[in-house]
Amino acid sequence: MSSSIPYTVPIEGGIPDTHRPHTERTTTILIPKDASAFLNPVQEYNRDLSVSVIRAWNEDRKEKLEAQFRTRRAKKQKKEGKTEPATTAEEDVTNADAGPSESEPKFNAPKITILEALSATGLRSIRYAKEIPDVKLVLANDLSASACDAMRRNVALNGVGEEPEGETTEQPDVGRREGCTGVVRVNEGDACTLMYNHRDPKSRADVVDLDPYGTAAPFIDAAIGAINDGGLLAVTCTDLAVLAGSNYPEKCFSNYGGVCCNAEYSHEVALRLVLNSLAQAAARYGRTITPLLSFSIDFYVRLFVRVDTKAVDVKKLLVNTGPVYICTYCESPTVQPFGRVIEKKSAKGNVNTVYKSIQAPTVGQRCSECGQPHHIAGPMWLGPIQDPEFAARVLESIDGEQDKYGTWPRMNGMLTLAKNELPDPFYFTSNKVHGFGRATSASTKMVVSALLNGGYKVSRSHASSGSIKTNAPRSFIYDIVREHIKTNPVRMDKISENSPAREFVNKPMAHTIDFTRHPDAKDFEKPEKTVLYQLNPLPGWGPAARAKDIKTSKMVDDKKRKTEEEAGVDEEAAMNL
């Protein structure tokens, strides 16, 4: 029966009646109908994005390794007194046609190992083996016995398992992309134990993927140590009620070492809290993180960071970390880094970098815009959350590959937003900021033009439709509201005397606002035929229920049934008294 499913191989015993097939691109897995293994079809976008990001990171890795190889070779030749003979233009053409000379060593990049700590059905790991080139091994781990049984069956069905030593058989077409020869090894065990066992530099993985149900906090420390220098860490957290809400600050602090906030930009705060948790864990081992892509998607956050061992750069964490004071009414954020950098030039012209603590607080007890008190959020990551060059690289890699990814339109749109997103913390929406003054909202085009006319930069944020990011201070943004109110008056008689909205509106303007249409405002408009913000396409769009192990679930059900029976006997005995 399995042979009738494209890109699969027959498995011993065929497909059990207790399972159903689920296909994603060229990968088909068998899902137990009793739902003992965890799969959320909604996260196909997450898997598509992960494949494209790892492919782009791998190309970047190979280019850097080759550059290092050429540099070492040139130094070696110089040390040995060898130089490349000069050639004429005609000889250059001849040599180019003939290809690389036999004496010139060819660079061969080492293959990569991917560790997926919480694999469930193995769908993601199998796709990595089939769709990412230069993969040697994907280590798919899960603690659940039933999930590992499902993974072994799915690996065999897709023909990506390890062959017994000494055996080589002709591989059927299982839908691998060009250059993809990786295999999947299933491991049943604790995720942290597995990753701690890979802390030795000789056994580290090149890519570690954390995609848990809920928070990734318990796995972060182990994951940081299991990654090679320059390796990629991919992290998913689905606990946005904690990260992006305001009801569980104690839980957010215990998980991520920072406090969440109640503001419209809470989803960006969520990303920065997770990044801070990653950065702090890495710093303990003399390692640094570089955020490549950070996304708030639907009901979860997904982050891709590069991990390096650079003790000198660890010091920079002081100036990239700190709390944020947030006004309880107008949500005006004031960033407070923990430190500052002082560069001193010596008599010989060398630049010495010194890190100093910073004077605090940088904000008064009351908000300067509306007079209300502040709440404190964080500490959180204050540096950039996107790498525009890397986002452009991923965009380039998926260009023309609509048939390779089921969620290509959304990938293209979100990567476009990430490429253009400003590094400055926090976004706002026109409707929200005008609401602080009880005013009708100016159009987004008007607000963007006013910011550009003021000499500031403008971009969208991927985290919210209608959002605006800028390097302008909040005082300028709120003066846009006050200028708009001049031509669209507010009913002050409808605002109570003690309302913060009254103080917000009456505050004297400190900036000159010009709503004249700016020529660059057209760049802010949505590109034609590009999906920037996808609406929920299915009912019940959100995280699926937590997976249950068959044996554990049966034990719980039996215990519950026994308790109910005993309770029934006791009740009957009581009635007979």
Please report which confidence band the pLDDT of residue 548 belongs to, taking 50, 70 and 90 as the band edges. Answer: low
Is 430 domain-assigned?
A: yes
From the centroid of its chain, how far is CA 491?
44
Taking the C-alpha atoms of residue 545 and residue 343, their distance in angstroms, rounded to an integer, is 53
- 36/39 Cα distance (integer angstroms): 10
What SS3 state is found at 178?
Answer: coil
Tell me which residue of 281, 236, 231 sits closest to 256, measured CA to CA.
281
What does the pLDDT average to over 20-29? Answer: 92
Q: What is the pLDDT of residues 107-136, one digit of tens each?
A: 888 999 999 999 989 999 999 999 999 999
Residue of higher predicted confidence among 55 and 146: 55
Q: What is the C-alpha to C-alpha distance for residues 175 and 291, in angstroms, rounded to an integer?
A: 32
- CATH code of the domain in which 452 resides: 3.30.56.70
For residue 241, give the 3-state DSSP assignment. helix
Residue 70 neighbours by CB under 8 Å, 6+ apart: 107
* Residues 304, 53 contacting (CB under 8 angstroms): yes
Instruction: Looking at 291-371, list the stretches that DSSP marks H as alpha helix, in order from N- to C-terminal side.
Output: 311-314
Residues 478-489, mean pLDDT to the nearest whole number: 97
**Which pLDDT band, with edges at 50, 70 and 90, does 345 fall under?**
confident
- 537, exposed or middle or buried, with CB in 10 Å at 0-12, 13-18, 19+? exposed
Does 336 map to a domain? no
The answer to the question of residue 137 being in a domain is no
| Residue given tokens 């591989």 in the structure block | 171
Residue 551 pLDDT greater than 70, yes or no: no
Q: What pLDDT shows up at residue 19?
A: 85
Nearest-angstrom CA–CA distance, 204 and 224: 10
Per-residue model confidence (pLDDT) at position 84: 52
What does 422-445 look like in DSSP terms, one character per residue?
Answer: -SSS-EEEHHHHHHTTT-PPPPHH
Q: Band of the pLDDT at 247, cuts 50, 70, 90?
A: very high
The tokens for 373 are 């008190």
pLDDT given at position 76:
83
Residue 332 lies in a domain: no
Matching residue, tokens 């006791």: 570
What does the pLDDT read at residue 29? 94
Residue pair 37/546 in contact (Cβ under 8 Å)? The answer is no
Model confidence at 577: pLDDT above 50:
no
How many C-beta atoms surround the C-beta of residue 309 within 10 A?
16
Tokens of 542: 């959100």
What is the total count of domains within the chain?
1
Report, as an integer, the average pLDDT of 402-427: 96
- Does residue 461 lie within any of the structural domains? yes
Query: Would you call 91 helix, strand, or coil by DSSP?
Result: helix
pLDDT at 535 over 80: no
Burial (0-12, 13-18, 19+ Cβ within 10 Å), 541: exposed
Identify the pLDDT of residue 50. 98
At a CB cut-off of 8 Å and minimum separation 6, what does 446 contact?
484, 515
Close Cβ partners of 273 (under 8 Å, ≥ 6 residues apart): 243, 252, 256, 257, 258, 260, 378, 380, 381
Q: What is the pTM of this model?
A: 0.88
Q: Letter for the amino acid at 15?
A: I
Structural domain harbouring 445: 422-524
CB 327 within 8 A of CB 311: no
Count CB atoms within 10 A of the CB of residue 330.
Answer: 26
Q: Is residue 450 part of a domain?
A: yes
Asked whether residue 445 is assigned to any structural domain, the reply reads yes
482 within a domain of the structure (yes/no): yes
DSSP letter, residue 373 = B
Q: Is 395 helix (H, G, I), strand (E, B) or coil?
A: helix
Per-residue confidence (pLDDT) for residue 12, from 0 to 100: 80
Partners of residue 257 on adjacent β-strands: none
**How would you write 66-88 as a 3-class SS string?**
HHHHHHHHHHHHHHCCCCCCCCC
Encode pLDDT of 70-102 as tens digits: 888 888 888 887 655 544 444 444 454 555 555
Lowest mean pLDDT across 154-168, 293-307, 413-427: 154-168
